[in-house]
Amino acid sequence: MRFSSLAAAAAACAGLASGHAIFVQLEADGTTYPVSHCVRTPSYDGPISDVSSNSLACNGPPNDQPKATDAVLDVTAGSTVIAVWRHTLDSGPEDVMDSSHLGPTLAYLKKVEDATSDSGVGNGC
């Protein structure tokens, strides 16, 4: 099985609830990989308020293209894989998520042909 951030999209809630966090790092089988390793990290870490737009995929516009990666992390089926979320793109390990951001964190995963370049928009393969 292959895992890439391209398959992950963060959702921010509109209305009474509002918050954001950014997926920047992976842990797999007890190994913590560097920030952005096998992760197409977005350039914008603010909330996407229109949850029906294509911007929801990989934290799209107002993002520029996510950082490119040619790395795809191979993991064995049944392995433990952890998506590490931070408060902002520049947050260190001590600033995982602001304490005011209560509630669930959502990631949608889908199968794609090429995790290094797929836009994340639309149905999976």
Please indicate, yes or no, if residue 86 is contained in any of the structural domains.
yes
Please indicate, yes or no, if residue 124 is contained in any of the structural domains.
no
Q: Which domain holds residue 84?
A: 1-106
pTM above 0.75, yes or no: no
* Structural domain count of the chain: 1
- pLDDT tens over the chain, length 125 residues: 444 433 333 333 333 445 567 888 899 999 999 988 988 887 777 777 787 888 777 766 666 667 778 888 888 889 999 888 887 778 887 777 767 777 777 776 778 888 887 877 877 66
Please indicate, yes or no, if residue 118 is contained in any of the structural domains.
no
What is the pLDDT at residue 59?
A: 67
Q: Which DSSP string corresponds to 46-98?
A: S----TTSGGGGGG-TTS-PPPP----EE--TT--EEEEEESSTT--TT-SS-
In 3D space, the residue among 107, 110, 117, 106 whose CA is nearest the CA of residue 72 turns out to be 117
CATH number at residue 77: 2.70.50.70
